Chains A and B, each alone.
Chain A
């Protein structure tokens, strides 16, 4: 009896659950890696070989697609624009946001609760698209980099994240610093900001990725080609080279690869930033 019991156990050891799990995980992974692989493969082919058989493996590696894409798509200019928009808007946003979040979290200003509610409300209000456009038009900021940056110096979700994090920092710190003669600005700037770095990283990453990937706002606000960010540049490039997939794929990859590398390094903050929408619930 003992033996048959052992036998049954060893039969059970074929870990069907495990095998099934891996099968599912690999199936989904193929769905995600497939399009990326197709992009890489196409970018290394010539146009004739793509026309002949779109899915065949690239037999020779044609890196000239990348050079062609880089030169023809005016990428260096668009990339620089994207960097300028993302960095400046994110910097302004985060600094102003900390000075909103800190006194609100601490109750150092009157109606702190009401102010916080104002930020939460925004998540449920109608889209600001039309009046925002009218505002920019009237301020003379339509089709200007300054106006474009201004669109992105606001983000209520980030404020909520910062407030929640600041609340976990002990109040006694404020008193001690004040007793030592530290002023308000210096306290927030050189003590609070370093202490809330994880929350700031989350907010920065969430906000920056949003700006970097934005495609509708440049379509609406920027008509001058010199101001295009890279997303808009890529759409325009697709309009011109839409049928030349090897070059277009190289162009898309030139943008995808740095994002993927950045993702692998900053994964923790990116995931917490992009799932931070959960504070909405």
Chain B
């Protein structure tokens, strides 16, 4: 690792130029991230100059065990897990299915790829508003379609479970394109000779998928599963845009934001309880850590088995 650009003082130039980037990183990302744990043991508020006290594990105790609020919190936790489970698997399955179809040597597949990826660049606000309109309950397109089958729905304004289901659907709709693109990149690394050889040997499409595509796609499978698990545990922005803070629909990420920065919506009002919100952040972090590590562990064992 010899350094060529001068001796003596000149040797320190790289350090000097690296400093701003490293400093900002510590100041804005790494420092605050670690400080979350410290804040979770205090009663900090978002009000400037207000005194801050050390409260030990009170925030955690309150979050998990105290009164009506803790029941709501545990519901939100459960809902986060359900959201994560459905989004991860449906997005993974659809992404793979669509990638396989779009990756064929057919005309126009590029256009379709572009179309499926589109929502990713539009961002949650546009995604959300688009779907609010598409799910317009008074004679919007989806409402009309459902009425053909005699189904009536209030969509995002309906029962909490119904609103939750629609947000889950839109979350998958919005991000399926990323999963698909990662799979396409993986599919394109598989040498076509393998397919030709298999076809000459008389293998059918399912056998080819099972014995060639699926095992060789392992890196993209791992990446997608891990990204989906971690991403969906932390995602809540679409809930914010589509339904707001409503009892019966919150997930943990939204709960952290609402308790930390105050949200009033309908019957629910929260105040600036940042220590409490930090404790909730740590609980979410532990959830991400445990589920993420477990996923990683399972994936690695699977990979080792395939390589055998």
**A residues engaging B (CB < 8 A)?**
17-18, 21-22, 24-25, 28-29, 31-36, 38-39, 42, 53-55, 96-97, 99-100, 102-104, 106-109, 115, 118-119, 121-122, 124-135, 137-138, 142, 150-151, 153-154, 156, 159, 174-175, 177-179, 182-185, 187-188, 209, 212-213, 215-216, 219-220, 231, 234-235, 238, 245, 248-249, 252, 255-256, 259-260, 262-264, 267, 270-271, 274-275, 277-278, 280-281
Is B37 a contact of A39 with CB atoms below 8 Å? no
The tally of residues in B whose CB lies under 8 Å from a CB in A reads: 96
Q: Please measure, in the bound complex, the distance between the C-alpha atom of A278 and the C-alpha atom of B139, giving whole angstroms.
A: 41
Of chain A, the residue at the smallest CB distance from B263 is: A219
Other A-B pairs beyond A32-B115, A53-B139, A128-B29, 17, CB < 8 Å: A21-B101, A24-B97, A28-B115, A29-B115, A124-B289, A128-B28, A130-B274, A132-B32, A133-B46, A134-B46, A177-B4, A184-B5, A216-B257, A220-B257, A252-B126, A259-B121, A274-B178
Given contacts A124-B292, A184-B13, contact A131 B133 (CB under 8 A): no
Q: How far is it, in angstroms, between the C-alpha of A97 and the C-alpha of B276 when the chains are bound?
A: 34
Assess A125 versus B33: contact at CB under 8 Å? Given A32-B115, A249-B133.
yes
Q: Describe A's contact surface by its main secondary structure.
A: helix
Q: Of all chain A residues, which has the CB nearest B121?
A: A263
CA distance A22 to B277 in the complex (A): 48
Nearest to A249 among chain B residues (CB) is B133
Specify which of B10, B46, B106, B129 lies most central, judged by the most chain A CB atoms within 10 Å of its CB.
B129
Given contacts A100-B18, A124-B292, A256-B126, contact A118 B112 (CB under 8 A): no
Contacts A125-B30, A153-B28 given; does A32 touch B118 at CB 8 Å: yes
Docked complex Cα distance between A175 and B144 (Å): 69
Give chain B interface residues in 113-153, CB to chain A under 8 Å.
Answer: 114-126, 129-131, 133-134, 136, 138-141, 144
As a 0/1 sequence over residues 217 to 234 of chain B, the CB contacts with chain A under 8 angstroms (1 = contact) are 001101100110010001
